[in-house]
Every structure is written in structure tokens, then in C-alpha cells.
Amino acid sequence: MVAGARRRAVRGGDRQIDTAHLLHSLLESDPEVRAAVGDAPQLARLLGYLVQRSIGYGLRWQSTVEDSGAIAVVPDPALYGGEPKDTGGWSPAAAAAMEDARRRARERGETRAHGTDLLAALVVDPQSRAVEVLERAGVPAHGLRARIEARAGEHADDGAAC
């Protein structure tokens, strides 16, 4: 999934992997994520919107770093005489979402996050590009988060791994 997001960022000439790249890759690779998003027309609208973004819609994002302000952006230590940090090519919002997904998995006692963990983490920041894409495609992020949480509760009640 991460490789797909990275390919999308490189192909689009984007400076970093952002939350919209992660969302696009998740939708293409994870059936549970697609099921959480909603019905076929809603999913088709969302994927269509993401494809539009990848062929030109995202041009306004290429020269910017995704930072909604919800997370502190840590400046590069090289600016202050330290060693340059390796950002790994992630926007601050995408890095925070990946960490939140790992935290969700750890809370369940698992070592690896599931696609729905990352999807839930992507919709937490209302200023992220993933939320912007979801909202523009007619998928309310707050409703999506509630569906993900409800599905996780159902799986926990069944004793099944999500």
C-alpha cells in the first residue's frame, strides 16, 4: 500500500507522500476500506475524484507541504547547524496518520496496522488532503469515522481479528 502511494507521489511530481496518496492507495488495495467507504456509486465517485487529482487536479498541491496546522511541523535541524533529518518523503499529516494507525494496532495487541486503521487515522484531521478529497466526493469524513469505529466494535464482539 505504501509503495502505491509513493509511486503516485513520484508520478504526480509531488514533493511528499500526502494523505490523499495514502487514501487512493488504500482504496485500490484493501476491500475492507472500500466496504467502509460506502456503496458502489459513492466509491466510484471517490475513485473518480482521486484519478482526476492524479492527472492534474493536484497541481496546486505540488509545490506545498501538506500541513493543516493540526500537527506541529518540526523544522529540519540542519537549519540550526544540526544533522539533516530524514523525513522519509512524508507530509506531516501523512506521517501523523501512519503513527496513529500503528497506535490503533498496538492498542489491539497487534504489530501491524490494518487498512481500516489507516483510514480511521486519515479522517481524524479535518484539514488533511484526504478529508478534502472525501468531502468533495460526497463522503462525509465524520460519518466514515463512525462507520469504521462501528465495524471495529462488531469485529471485537465477534472475537474475530479485524
Condensed to tens digits (0 to 9), the pLDDT of residues 140-160 reads 999 998 888 888 777 665 554
Tally of structural domains, the chain: 1
Query: How many separate helices (H) and strands (E) can be counted in the chain?
Result: 8, 0
Which conformational region is residue 138 in: left (phi greater than 0), alpha (psi within -120 to 50 degrees), or beta? left
Tell me the angle at which helices 40-54 and 129-136 cross, rounded to the nearest 10 degrees.
130
Grid look-up 492498542 returns 107
Lowest mean pLDDT among 6-10, 22-26, 27-31: 6-10
Angle at 108 between CA 104 and CA 112, to 5 degrees: 65
Cell of 1: 500500500
* Cα torsion angle, 96, 134, 23, 159, sign: positive
What range does the domain containing 59 cover? Answer: 2-158
CATH number at residue 128: 1.10.1780.10
- Phi, psi of 155, rounded to the nearest 5 degrees: -65, -40
Q: What pTM does this model have?
A: 0.78
Residues 44-72 have a mean pLDDT of 63
Q: What is the pLDDT of residue 97?
A: 95
Single out the residue of 115, 139, 123, 132 nearest to residue 45, CA to CA: 139
d(Cα 10, Cα 18) in Å, to the nearest integer?
Answer: 11
Q: What is the pLDDT of residue 65?
A: 53
Tell me the angle at which helices 19-29 and 92-107 cross, rounded to the nearest 10 degrees.
50
Residue 67 has pLDDT above 70, yes or no: no
Q: What is the pLDDT of residue 68?
A: 47
